[in-house]
Chain A
Amino acid sequence: MIGIFITFIGAILVLFLGISKQESSSKNLSASFLFLAAILSLVEALGFANFSSIATWAPKTMIDFSQGEMMFVSLLAAVTSAIIAIFPSSNHKGSDKLGLMMLSLTGAFMMIGANHLVMLFLGIEVLSIPLYVLAGSDKLNLNSNEAAIKYFLMGAFSTAIFLLGCAFIYGGTATLSLTEIEVRMSIVGHFAEFPSLVKAGVVLMSTGLLFKVSAFPFHFWAPDVYQGSPNKITTFMAVVVKIAGFVAFSNFLQAFSALSGWNNQWIILLSVLTIIFGNVVALSQKSVKRTLAYSSIAHAGYLLLFLITPMQGNMWVLFAYSVAYALSTVVLFYFNDKYSTNGEFGFSMFTGLFHSNKSAAILMTIALFSIAGIPITVGFTAKYYLFTSAFDVSPIAVCIALIGSAISIVYYFKGFKNIYEVDINMNQLHASKIHWIVYMMVAVSIVLGMCPYLFERCF
């Protein structure tokens, strides 16, 4: 709970400061707010301190953070703080973008902690509405405009579908509280009254959530919006929306664990389709950003596999995967942002990197290894945990996921061709220094890859 407070206060503060200040001047402030939120949440999650007293006014039936969820809060806060810190910010007026990001993050936290459909809905909206604005924050850039309007229209549309689902579930179970729903669903006979209403509700709400996590076939917004939005926002979207979406999704589905046999069917189907789709389509992408967008769709597919496992007590698997995904995605988007110039969005931006900037090349290599799931990076560990826990339920889906990750090697490693190529005309951009946080992130992904037991211990 402490995380949500600090973030929210920070957001308001930065938002108001933003009226007069430049973005770069608020950067440190917002980053430190978020970092503080991350640290405090972590401290609370690990049980070193207890800040629950300040959360007493919030009814537990609406929002409640378990220890595991606090880990996610901490992770998202930390990642966002890193995003804000490492991405260059404009010197134009208006640090309101940072404020909006923090506000959006607050929405993400609400989703994570939500215990009630209203809170879940509000979380989604608080997450989304600032993002609609942020996607279009590059006001004079037509691509950014287009991204904003696409994101907005489709987001609003999916919200409507999500809400219809809420209404159906409400009709079927006569409650909006997730805990209550779980109880009622498990009472034999109760559910029998309106089975199709509840099922339809689950499907419709899931559609809304699947849209948020950009799973096939509700992924259409992702590549376009990722491409059009400013890099910093894309990174934020790719990481925060997806992770928060999955935590919310898993909380939501846990309430319907009585239906898990039925749920698993379609989740497996969608997961397999998403993995294949994301990976295969990513193969033919020319732009780095779009490749990463499809890669993030594929990752949504892997994460869907988590939803078929008995999630109770298994949240650390999702956490591990989120950490792995967040670390490598941020690093890769960072390099994409750093080296992309106006006319240059393809892989050729990395040409000759190894020869002009060794450390950058090595960092990028490790990040690519991690996202591809090669051993002794956290990416492998996470994938391993995820697949092992899903294997019991559906070995075939896991096998397809394995094939998918093999395909993904092709486009992840496409970068290596350019990175290790010898380039005669040195790219001037390559020479610039790399933010120390990036080093930290890569180091963390290796340390966690070698000492994976840390994840299990945190929960």
Chain B
Amino acid sequence: MEIIILPLFLSVLAAAFGSKVNKIVWGALSALTLLAMIWVKSNLNIQNDGVWHTTYDMPWFSSGIHFTLGIDGFTGLMLLLTNILSPIIIFSINRDKQKSLLPLILFMQAALNGVFMAKDGLMFYIFWELALIPIYFICLLYSSKDAFKTTIKFFIYTFIGSLAMLASLIYLYLKTKNHSFAYEELLAVQLNHAESIWVGAGFLFAFAVKIPIFPFHSWQANTYTYAPAQGSMLLSGIMLKMGLYGLIRWYMPIAAESISFYQPIIVTLSVIGVIYGAVIAIKQNDLKRLIAFSSLSHVGLIAAGFFTLTEIGIQGGILQMFVHGINVVALFYIVEIIETHSGSRELSGLGGLAKFNRLFAALYLIVVLGTAAVPFTNGFPGEFMLLKGVFDYNTISGVFAGLTIILCAVYMLRMYQFSMLGESKTSFKEIGIKQLWPLIILVVIILVIGISPMLILDKVNPSVQKIMLEISNSKGVLS
């Protein structure tokens, strides 16, 4: 509970005193949530044994609908991601935007924490929607152009998706024995094949739009492009993970009967998305668009990995969720620095920035390498596991998905070269070390996870075992 209340409270504070206090203070306050996490964990003496421990429970809408929060390794990882990235995103705010953006970001942090902790179907939905609202306003208030159309398209698209999920949830709710949205109750619902396909479609649509899986991505590139950097970071860094989280936590165990039906479809679409995104990214000129398509490519691989239902695919996917969050936020942070310091984020107008700040160049390079999944960076283990999962599931898909390691190198290095190397075309303002600290933190995370991914995998392993057990138990899909 504290994990949600704290940022929410801060959000209200920020609405009142947002511009009066330095953003670093706000960032630090936001990071306090991490302490709250530790506090909750130690206070309730939670073991990482795979069980989704309930930390808070209160009757809410009616007797069947509770306000229930839970923590396990998987949720913990997502909370960690959210609460590491939120302060960093707060650091990146420009002073003139601080007053409006701060409360929104903090509110978003609270809602995201809620999404990952919600143990009740309706609560999950509510937090899911709540997370959408601040991002909508972030995009609306500070979009670089007159981008109302883009933001509303994004909002409606994801909103329709979540309504589909709501329909599925309500269906399940009416099927439970004593009309309840509790996670366990929903799990216990037995569906026949046709039902499961419809219920699954609802969930999948919501998640596929949010992730986004290949043909549902058309909101993505423009939204990322027009949104302020903080919006892009929140969207790509954390919000995409909501969809992936939902796949594993909600869709798969609950509508497991339908997995065998959707498995080939989703894997194929995801793999198409992997290549599609990567190929488009090759020729992008706008850095943000480039990252958007690269993100499409990367999360497609994660979704494909999940749907292989292999342990290595799922674990790799979860690892990659965290990793992608870190990397993409770092990339957007870099773009933000480049844009504010040189006034452009078009590759054609950039070049040669490396000579202005060596440290920045080095950090940028590491982030690029992390995204391109070079060994010793965090991208490698996850991508390796995912590709292995997909390869084990279907060799052809595996080979096609594997093309990402080539294409990703192509566009990431192109991005790096055209912005940093060569003759410099633009002036570049001095970057203070203060601005680079968040990036340094991210880069350290990139390297640490790259060298020892087990730090994270060990934590989520029990949860994954549990979830896979649930999938196979109720439905017998996993042979």
Measuring CB to CB, which residues of chain A are less than 8 angstroms from any residue of chain B? Answer: 369, 374-376, 380-381, 384, 387-388, 391-392, 395, 398-399, 402-403, 405-407, 409-410, 413, 416-417, 420, 452-453, 456
Contact = CB atoms under 8 A, between A and B. Distances in A.
Nearest to B59: A453
A395 B171 contact: yes
A375 B126 CA distance: 6
Given A369-B133, A374-B129, A413-B155, A402 B62 contact: no
Contacts of A392: 174
Contacts, number: 65
Given A398-B167, A417-B148, A406 B156 contact: yes
Contact of A403 (B137, B163, B173): B163
Given A375-B126, A405-B163, A416-B140, A391 B170 contact: yes
Contact of A388 (B133, B141, B155, B173): B173
Nearest to A398: B167
B159 interface: yes
Contacts of B163: 402-403, 405-406
A406 B167 contact: no
B59 A406 contact: no
B269 interface: no
7 contacts: A380-B129, A388-B173, A402-B166, A406-B160, A409-B159, A417-B140, A417-B152
A272 to B, nearest CB: 15
B17 interface: no
Contacts of B141: 420
A135 B133 CA distance: 38
B61 A406 contact: no
A376 B130 contact: yes
Interface string B135-150: 0010011000000100
A413 B141 CA distance: 13
Given A375-B130, A402-B164, A406-B163, A413 B174 contact: no
Given A375-B125, A384-B122, A406-B160, A395 B140 contact: no
Contacts of B126: 375-376, 380
Given A406-B160, A409-B152, A420-B137, 4 more contacts: A374-B133, A395-B167, A395-B171, A453-B60
Given A375-B130, A376-B126, A387 B170 contact: yes
Contacts of B174: 388, 391-392
A367 B156 CA distance: 18
Interface string B111-130: 00000000000100110011
A452 B129 contact: no
A392 B160 CA distance: 21
Contacts of B129: 374-375, 380
A374 B61 CA distance: 16
A146 B338 CA distance: 61
A80 to B, nearest CB: 29
Residue among A374, A375, A403 with the most chain B CB within 10 A?
A: A375
A95 B122 CA distance: 48
Contacts of B170: 387-388, 391, 398
A87 B170 CA distance: 40
A406 B152 CA distance: 11
B204 to A, nearest CB: 15
Contacts of A381: 61
A452 B61 CA distance: 5
Contacts of B125: 375
A406 B159 contact: yes
A410 B167 contact: no
A413 to B, nearest CB: 6
A453 B133 contact: no
Given A376-B126, A392-B174, A420-B141, A402 B167 contact: yes
Contacts of A417: 140, 148, 152
Given A453-B59, A453-B61, A456-B62, A403 B160 contact: yes
A387 B171 CA distance: 11
A409 B133 CA distance: 12
B167 A409 contact: no
A402 B164 CA distance: 8
B123 to A, nearest CB: 10
A159 B303 CA distance: 59
A376 B125 CA distance: 11
Which 10 pairs show the lowest CB-CB distances between chains A and B? A375-B126, A402-B163, A417-B148, A406-B160, A375-B129, A391-B170, A452-B61, A388-B170, A406-B159, A409-B156
A392 B163 CA distance: 17
Given A375-B130, A402-B163, A453-B60, A391 B155 contact: no
A387 B141 CA distance: 33
A285 to B, nearest CB: 16
Contacts of A384: 61, 122, 166
A380 B163 CA distance: 12
Contact of A420 (B60, B140, B159, B173): B140
A336 B422 CA distance: 57
B167 A399 contact: yes
A413 B122 CA distance: 24
Contacts of A453: 59-62
A395 B198 CA distance: 11
A417 B159 CA distance: 18
Nearest to B122: A384
Given A398-B167, A402-B167, A403-B160, A410 B152 contact: yes
Contacts of B152: 409-410, 413, 417
A102 to B, nearest CB: 36
A402 B159 CA distance: 10
Contacts of A413: 152, 155
A384 B170 CA distance: 9
Interface in B157-197: 159-160, 163-164, 166-167, 170-171, 173-174
A364 B141 CA distance: 16
A73 to B, nearest CB: 25
Given A380-B126, A406-B156, A409-B155, A391 B171 contact: yes
Contacts of A409: 152, 155-156, 159
Residue among B126, B133, B137 with the most chain A CB within 10 A?
A: B126
Nearest to B147: A417
Contacts of A406: 156, 159-160, 163
B437 to A, nearest CB: 32
A388 B125 CA distance: 14
Contacts of B167: 391, 395, 398-399, 402
A398 B164 CA distance: 11
Contacts of B61: 381, 384, 452-453
A388 B121 CA distance: 13
Contacts of B60: 452-453
A395 B163 CA distance: 13
Contacts of A391: 167, 170-171, 174
Contacts of A380: 126, 129
Contacts of B62: 453, 456
A410 B149 CA distance: 10
Nearest to A449: B126
Nearest to A407: B156
Interface string B412-438: 000000000000000000000000000
Nearest to B67: A450
B56 to A, nearest CB: 15
Contacts of B164: 402
